[in-house]
């Protein structure tokens, strides 16, 4: 064994008869099994380094990308009675097509000439407005005439006051003259009396001087009375001026009050006209609500208020309609723990209910029957089911979605994440780590490179 002896065991002796050697000898199948294990182990290590696409699974349902393309319910704008149906369930309609006709049930709108009669009321009120305007203009002209009359009257009174003032001055001068005459007459009487006492003048001349003094004093009294009369007339003229001003002010105030009252009536009439116009427009528009029409192209889904003669209330649902040419999308409901992994623009693969598909979780390229989409919106608030809603639209650079899909159908979405080796994915799952996150922009840059 150590090659230190001349004896050798390398000989061709037959040992098949030895049972002990048969029991310890390795058979050919053991070698084959060992080789198989080595091949399997090598294959296992080979697969451990293959790329694996991480993903997040979520269930969802089909909807539309735009809110106005989703199924909608048409409601009755007014209360009424169903008179006739013009469509059937499942029928396609164009925008503006008549769906159902309802008649009026409120007594306030039974009059078939209601709009015309309200229009006549509007015309009558507009005529009243013109009358009020004419009355207001006439009162304004009357006020202008009163102002002109007042100015003339005041000018006349002021002239009269000026005359009375001049007469007072004249009478005052007359008094001064009379007083001077009295002084002169007294002085002359005293001189005549002195001369009479000396015997130089006769008694007749003395009596004449006394009569003259009395006459002059009478003139003084007369002048004083005339001055007082002139002063009173001046005061009366001033009072007349004040009274005239008050009189015309009262007349102007009364006329202006009537004018403002007329203008107020005019504004009330204008308000009534506007109200009647609103009512006329409302009645006219209400008449257009008797025929319920399709708001857009679509298909009649279900008649909610069938039958003839049924009474529908204001705002009651009448029929459901599905818009045509709707751009489909899928709303997925993702667990809160997976929401941070999803961003706008991320790739999603779908398996739709009713369409057979084979999906390989780690190798989406080998999957069959799946359709691509990209995330367009993620809700900011959690849904009542405890998950976040994610809206996914069809990918434009991939195979189009089946045309037979219907809103409300089920779909299973698989959101594509990062590519990692299989051993890393197994290690991540064993340790409970979340999948790797990446930004779609970086992935697009890598793809372009």
| CATH of residue 375 | 2.40.30.170
Rounded distance between C-alpha atoms, residue 160 and residue 237, angstroms: 7
Identify the CATH number of the domain in which residue 264 sits.
1.20.1270.60
Task: Collapse the DSSP code of 392 into the 3-class scheme (helix H, G, I; strand E, B; otherwise coil) and give the result.
Answer: strand
Structural contact between residues 351 and 359, judged by C-beta atoms closer than 8 angstroms: yes
- Is residue 183 located within the same domain as residue 260? yes
- Is residue 191 located within the same domain as residue 301? no
- Is residue 137 located within the same domain as residue 275? yes
Determine the pLDDT at residue 441. 47
Determine the pLDDT at residue 438. 43
Which positions ≥6 away from 261 have C-beta within 8 Å?
Answer: none
- Is residue 430 located within the same domain as residue 332? yes
Determine the pLDDT at residue 54. 59
Final residue of a structural domain among 264, 288, 312: 288
- Is residue 264 located within the same domain as residue 128? yes
- Is residue 245 located within the same domain as residue 353? no
- Is residue 241 located within the same domain as residue 153? yes
> CA 318 from chain center: how many Å?
28
* pTM of the full structure: 0.55
Report in angstroms the alpha-carbon separations of 248 from 144, 214, 251: 12, 50, 5
- End-to-end alpha-carbon separation of the chain, Å? 63
Domain assignment present for residue 6? The answer is: no
Domain assignment present for residue 43? The answer is: no
Domain assignment present for residue 100? The answer is: no
- Is residue 250 located within the same domain as residue 354? no
Instruction: Name the token pair of 416.
Output: 């594509």
Mutual angle of helices 114-197 and 203-288, in 10-degree steps: 170
- Is residue 305 located within the same domain as residue 344? no
Q: What is the largest CA-CA distance in the chain?
A: 228
Structural contact between residues 68 and 325, judged by C-beta atoms closer than 8 angstroms: no
Query: Over its length of 449 residues, how does the chain's per-residue pLDDT go in tens digits?
Result: 455 655 555 555 555 565 665 555 555 556 677 777 877 877 766 666 666 565 677 888 888 888 888 888 888 888 888 989 998 888 889 998 999 998 888 877 777 788 888 888 888 888 888 888 898 899 889 989 988 988 898 888 888 888 888 888 887 888 888 888 778 878 877 777 777 777 777 777 777 777 877 888 888 788 888 888 888 888 888 888 888 889 888 988 998 899 899 899 888 988 888 888 888 888 888 888 888 899 888 888 888 887 788 888 888 899 999 888 888 889 988 888 777 778 888 888 888 887 765 454 544 554 555 788 888 988 888 888 888 899 999 888 888 888 888 888 888 887 766 566 666 666 666 665 556 544 444 444 555 54
Q: Which phi and psi angles does 377 have, rounded to 5°? A: -160, 145
The parent domain of residue 79 ranges over: 72-88+290-323
- Is residue 271 located within the same domain as residue 167? yes
Domain assignment present for residue 8? The answer is: no
Domain assignment present for residue 107? The answer is: no
Overall number of domains in the chain: 3
- Is residue 284 located within the same domain as residue 297? no
Task: Collapse the DSSP code of 303 into the 3-class scheme (helix H, G, I; strand E, B; otherwise coil) and give the result.
Answer: strand
Domain assignment present for residue 33? The answer is: no
Domain assignment present for residue 415? The answer is: yes
Domain assignment present for residue 195? The answer is: yes
Determine the pLDDT at residue 384. 85
- Is residue 342 located within the same domain as residue 296? no
Rounded distance between C-alpha atoms, residue 434 and residue 415, angstroms: 14
User: Which DSSP letter does residue 368 get?
Assistant: B
DSSP labels for 382-429? --TTSSEEEEEEEPTTSPPPPTT--TT-EEEEEEEEEEEEHHHHHHHH
Q: Which helix (H) or strand (E) holds 61?
A: strand 51-64
């Amino acid at each position: 064994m150590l090659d230190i002896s001349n004896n050798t065991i390398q000989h061709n002796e037959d040992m098949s008869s030895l049972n002990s050697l048969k029991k310890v000898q390795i058979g050919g199948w053991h070698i084959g099994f060992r080789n198989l294990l080595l091949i399997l182990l090598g294959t296992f290590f080979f697969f451990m380094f293959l790329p694996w696409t991480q993903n997040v699974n979520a269930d969802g349902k089909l909807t539309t990308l735009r809110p106005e393309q989703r199924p909608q319910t048409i409601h009755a704008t007014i209360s009424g009675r169903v008179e006739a149906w013009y469509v059937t369930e499942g029928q396609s309609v164009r925008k503006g097509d008549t769906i159902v006709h309802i008649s009026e049930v409120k007594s306030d709108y039974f009059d078939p000439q209601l709009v015309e009669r309200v229009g006549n009321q509007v015309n009558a009120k507009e005529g009243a407005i013109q009358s009020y305007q004419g009355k207001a203009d006439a009162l304004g002209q009357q006020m202008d005439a009163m102002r002109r009359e007042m100015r003339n009257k005041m000018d006349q009174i002021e002239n009269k006051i000026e005359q009375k003032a001049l007469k007072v001055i004249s009478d005052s001068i007359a008094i001064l003259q009379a007083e001077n005459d009295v002084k002169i007459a007294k002085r002359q009487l005293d001189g005549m009396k002195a001369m009479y006492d000396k015997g130089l003048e006769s008694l007749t001349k003395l009596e004449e001087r006394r009569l003259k003094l009395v006459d002059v004093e009478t003139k003084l009294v007369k002048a004083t009375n005339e001055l007082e009369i002139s002063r009173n007339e001046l005061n009366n003229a001033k009072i007349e001026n004040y009274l005239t001003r008050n009189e015309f002010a009262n007349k102007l105030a009364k006329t202006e009050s009537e004018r403002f009252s007329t203008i107020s009536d005019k504004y009330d009439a204008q308000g009534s006209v506007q109200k009647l116009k609103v009512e006329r427009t409302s009645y006219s528009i209400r008449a257009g609500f008797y025929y319920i029409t399709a708001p857009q192209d679509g298909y009649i889904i279900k008649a909610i208020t069938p039958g003839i003669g049924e009474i529908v209330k204001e705002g009651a649902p009448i029929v459901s309609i599905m818009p045509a040419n709707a751009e489909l999308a899928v709303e997925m409901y993702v667990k809160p723990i997976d929401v941070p992994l999803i961003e706008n623009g991320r790739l999603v693969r779908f398996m739709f209910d009713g369409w057979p598909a084979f999906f390989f979780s780690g190798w989406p390229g080998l999957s069959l029957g799946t359709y691509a989409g990209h995330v367009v919106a993620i809700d900011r608030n959690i849904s009542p089911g405890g998950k976040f809603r994610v809206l996914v639209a069809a990918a434009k650079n991939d195979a189009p979605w089946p045309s037979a899909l219907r809103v409300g159908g089920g779909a299973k979405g698989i959101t594509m994440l990062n590519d990692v080796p299989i051993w890393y994915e197994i290690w991540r799952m064993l340790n409970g780590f979340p999948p790797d996150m990446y930004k779609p922009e970086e992935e697009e840059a890598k793809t372009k490179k």
